[in-house]
Structure 1
Amino acid sequence: MMESTKVLVIGGGYAGVMAANRLTQRDDVAVTLVNPRPSFVHRVRLHQLVGGTDSAVVEYRKVLNDRVRLVVDTVARIDAAERSVALASGGAVGYDYLVYAVGSGSAGTEVPGVAEFAYPVAELEDAQRLRTILDGEPASAAVTVVGAGPAGIETAAELAEGGRAVTLLCGGVLGPYLHARGRRSVAKQLARLGVTVLDGPDTRVTAVTADTVRLADGRELPSRVTIWTAGFAVPDLAARSGLSTDAAGRLLTDETLTSVDDPRIIAAGDAAAPSDLPLRMSCQAAMPLGARAADTVLSRIAGEEPETLNQSFAAQCISLGRHTGIFQFATRSDVAVWFNVDGRMGAKLKETVCTGIVKHLSDEAGKPGGYRLHRISGGTARQRHLAAKRVDERVTAGLAV
């Protein structure tokens, strides 16, 4: 009887589930998924959990292939030499190949008072805790959302639509990714919902207390509930395990998503830094990266050379409450363009995307190998950046270009 190749996937988010499902294409591959929760977190709906309009949870039986063994635990350390991981519960799991898909969480705790008095929304437990806090506060209580990326905009809009008095602090521009035309549309919709938007460098938060937020220009704003969405950070598992990472802690890989330290370790999702040029943190990148990581593993098992990353983007979509939104189109290299769809149609497109994410995962669970979006040709910007990076490295090393 042929011995199975053991593949361990760390992290059961968009990238990890996609990779785990895809790996079941081969009958001689045994896939184990380690995740700290027994259910799949539909992260792009966490702002809805905060607003009370969705649970942001999907049962794994709906998105995970039956052949994937789910271990509800947390990986404490990776022992690459022994091809084993230590679990927080005290056990261990061995592997022949490992897919590192640990995702990302909240950042910004270095700002005084944030860790004690602000509420992040990057994780399921964070959003659930915040929902409980809001339920205990009157509708008139001042709510401040810090950070004007998609998470901040969506959370502010969701709460304002529910009758909350919300201030959104940008610390810079509103929706940095958006085209200027899309930014104006978002500002208009937020104003319609009653959100007070404060932008510019002077709105950077320098401290948070139990009932105030202090800004860079010295102003102090009353804030009964302060919500922190200003950036994301990755877990330090790779660094703690002695693996090479970028400055943010993402696992360094080549363009096949293979660790620069170990050909048996492949990364996907927010915690991957291929060629030290990580992609935008998003499900739009995570699922194709999960599929690419699985394909790399399957190629190595088959004794074939893995294909390199070929990532394509299309848009960024943002909910503005339950009835409006924006679908910001972009180039395949992930640069926003002038064209967008907003209003009710924008909301419908965002909902289609959210529903489609689960469908993609479910379809891959039912028919492993069917997902193809990671094979769509990407833009040329990444190739230009890689070429420029290689020239810089040669110059730094004192080599002829």
Structure 2
Amino acid sequence: MSGKSTEVLVIGGGYAGVMAANRLTLRGDVTVTLVNPRPDFVHRVRLHQLAGGTDPAVVEYREVLAQGVRLVVDSVTRIDAAGRAVELASGATAGYDYLVYAVGSGSADPSVPGAAEYAYPLATFEEARRLRPVLEAAPAQAPVVVVGGGPTGIETAAELAEEGRAVTLVCGGALGPYLHPHGRRAVTRRLAALGVSVLEGPGTRVAEVTAGAVRLADGRELPSTVTVWSVGFGVPDLAVRSGLRTDALGRLLTDETLTSVDDERIVAAGDSAAPSNLPARMSCQAAIPLGARAADTVLSRIAGERPGNLSQAFAGQCISLGRREGIFQFASKADDAVWFHVDGRLGAKLKEFVCKGILKHLSEEAHEPGGYKMHRISGATRQKLLAAGRAEAPATVEQAA
């Protein structure tokens, strides 16, 4: 491709996509275009605050995106891998030499009767913005049921309870299943102090949602003026619709360099990537390093070099427990929670430090591409998992319909 600029198209302007786009500006002979359906960057880790009315959860792209990146506000409807082009919702097309697939994740389609009609999901900016006026219109003491005992459910329940809402958190199993028992006890104490009624155990699986209630598997019926649904994540079906191989959830199958098993011109990052069919936990903590690794893979191919393999290490999980308290649950590099955690006011400060640090990482990479290094932390544990055969070889996964 000597003599002309290499065109790299990034689909998705979230944590992984912005990191990848910024890093790709490291080379002056690369033209980077970012396609995203929204004109602003969504700070997704603050969506529970948008629902609670304490943060807008968006920042302007000029704060996190390199000036050399062209932003196109549109949606990709199909990838034509053979023609190296994408079709846009506006009717336009865009060509590429390399494509970074970073479409992220959203709410999983609920299979529980009534959930799609009467519950409010909280995985995207649009969903959180839709939920906020519903909460504002509800009487202050109206019962609110939050379904899902993971980080989003915990954060949302705490945020709403702190503003005086009568909140019940239905876990459908264990509260904070990722957490170490020590950390779980700390979260339980804080939720109790906020007045959140926490329902745990197998009998708390939701069987049905109606306009005014949530019915559990054990037969209990909970009155609910507003039901918030924070159960699981799904990914867009763009890869499936484009004839690219995916895992069972729809994440693009790649090798350990994040290159699609179908096309070396397509590289994936973030929640929508399934490297070696052993994807990382869906999280900002994984998305940013994956974005950096995806960009490095593209830059290596442009330079005619062999791309490096994925290294992915984790520090833990931080959860807001209202505006005044929080918890930072430390973990091993393999993403297993350990006994040590920091909670209370210091936990809240650590959580806020992390939230601000996310934007700092992106902004610094925008101004000095190549400066981010955290994706190079040793991933020895991942290599052991792969060597032990715990990952299914991508070649054995059938083509997505």
Q: Using structure 1 for the length normalisation, give the TM-score.
A: 0.97
1:313-392 matches, cutoff 5 A: 313-380=314-381, 382-389=382-389
Partner in structure 1 of residue 161 of structure 2: 160
User: 1 CA distance for matches of 2:372 and 2:387?
Assistant: 29
Please report how far the alpha carbon of residue 378 of structure 1 lies from its aligned counterpart in structure 2 after TM superposition: 2.8
Mapped to 2, the partners of 1:142 and 1:107 lie a distance apart of 24
- The one-letter code matched in structure 2 to 1:387 is A
SS in 2 for 1:217: coil
* 3-state SS of paired residue (2:157): helix
- CA distance in 2 between counterparts of 1:372 and 1:120 reads 34
Question: Could you tell me how far 1:376 is from its partner in structure 2?
Answer: 1.3
Contact 2:277 2:393 in 1 (8 A): no
Taking the aligned partners of 1:231 and 1:26, their CA distance within structure 2 comes to 38
Q: How does 1:1-400 map to 2 (within 5 A)?
A: 2-380=3-381, 382-389=382-389
Tell me how far 1:389 sits from its aligned partner: 2.1
Q: Structure 1 residues 302 and 393, CA, compared in 2 at 3 Å: closer, same or farther?
A: closer
Query: Using a 3 Å threshold, how does the CA distance of structure 1 residues 325 and 220 change in structure 2: closer, same or farther?
Result: same
The number of equivalent residue pairs is: 394
CA distance in 2, matches of 1:266, 1:348: 36
2:389 partner amino acid: K
Distance (Å, rounded) in 2 between the aligned partners of 1:101 and 1:110: 26
* TM-score (normalizing by structure 2): 0.97
Aligned equivalents of 1:64 and 1:278: distance in 2?
26
Q: Distance in 1 between matches of 2:179 and 2:212?
A: 32
Does the residue aligned with 2:307 lie in a helix, a strand or coil?
coil
What CA deviation, in whole Å up to 9, does each residue of 1:47-68 have, x standing for no partner? 0011110000010000000110
Amino acid corresponding to residue 28 of structure 1 in structure 2: D
How much has 1:388 moved relative to structure 2?
A: 2.3
Q: Structure 1 residues 165 and 78, CA, compared in 2 at 3 Å: closer, same or farther?
A: same
- The percentage of counterpart residues that share the same residue type is 74
SS at match of 1:339: strand
Indicate if the aligned counterparts of 1:299 and 1:306 stay in contact, CA closer than 8 A. yes
Distance 1:161 1:391, change over 3 A: closer
SS at match of 2:139: coil
Q: Any conservation in 1 of the 2:8–2:31 contact (CA below 8 Å)? A: yes
Residue 343 of structure 1: how far off its partner (Å)? 0.2
- The alignment partner of 2:389 has SS state of helix
The one-letter amino acid of 2:372's match is Y
1:389 aligns to what SS in structure 2? coil
Indicate if the aligned counterparts of 2:253 and 2:260 stay in contact, CA closer than 8 A: yes
Distance between the aligned counterparts of 1:209 and 1:369, measured in 2? 51
Which piece of structure 1 moves more, 219-228 or 385-394?
385-394
In the alignment, residue 280 of structure 1 is paired with which amino acid? R
Q: 1:391 deviation in Å?
A: 9.1
Instruction: Measure, in 2, the Cα distance between the counterparts of 1:9 and 1:372.
Output: 21
Structure 2 vs 1, CA of residues 173 and 29 (structure 1 numbering), >3 Å: closer, same or farther?
A: same
Cα deviation, 1:50-96, whole Å, max 9, x if unaligned, reads 11100000100000001100000000000000000000110011000
Q: CA deviation at 1:383?
A: 1.7
Q: Report the alpha carbon displacement of residue 390 of structure 1 after superposing the two structures with TM.
A: 7.1
Contact 2:278–2:391 at 8 Å: present in 1 too? no
Post-superposition shift, 1:110?
Answer: 1.6
User: 3-state SS of the aligned residue for 1:187?
Assistant: helix
Change beyond 3 A, Cα 1:390–1:124: closer
Distance 1:27 1:393 in 2: 37
User: Which residue type is aligned with residue 76 of structure 1?
Assistant: T
Q: Is the 8 A contact 1:108 1:114 kept in 2?
A: no
How much has 1:387 moved relative to structure 2? 1.5
The 1:198–1:108 alpha-carbon spacing in structure 2 relative to 1, beyond 3 Å, is farther
CA contact 1:331–1:379 (8 Å) conserved in 2:
no
The 8 Å contact of residues 169 and 198 in structure 1, kept in 2 or not, is answered as: yes
Deviations 1:35-56 (A, max 9, x none): 0000000000000011110000
Residue identity matched to 2:288: M
How much does 1:353 deviate? 0.1
Whether the aligned pair in 1 keeps the contact of 2:258 and 2:267 (CA below 8 Å) is yes
User: Which 5+ residue runs of structure 2 have no aligned equivalent?
Assistant: 397-401
Q: Structure 1 162/354 Cα, relative in aligned 2: closer, same or farther at 3 Å?
A: same
Please say if residues 2 and 28 of structure 1, whose CA atoms lie closer than 8 Å, have aligned partners that are also in contact: no
- Superposition RMSD in Å: 1.3
Deviation track 1:94-143 (CA, whole Å, cap 9, x = no partner) reads 00000000000011422111111100111101001100101111111110
**Amino acid of the residue matched to residue 232 of structure 2?**
G
> Residue in 1 aligned with 2:399?
none
Q: Distance in 1 between matches of 2:309 and 2:248?
A: 23
Q: C-alpha distance in 1, partners of 2:127/2:3?
A: 45
The CA distance in 2 between the partners of 1:60 and 1:391, in whole Å, is 37
What is the identity, as a one-letter code, of the residue corresponding to 1:68?
V
| Consecutive unaligned residues in structure 1, runs of 5 or more | 397-401
Structure 1 pair 365–300 and aligned structure 2 pair: CA distance change class (3 A): same
User: 1:392 and 1:157, CA in 2 relative to 1: closer, same or farther beyond 3 A?
Assistant: closer
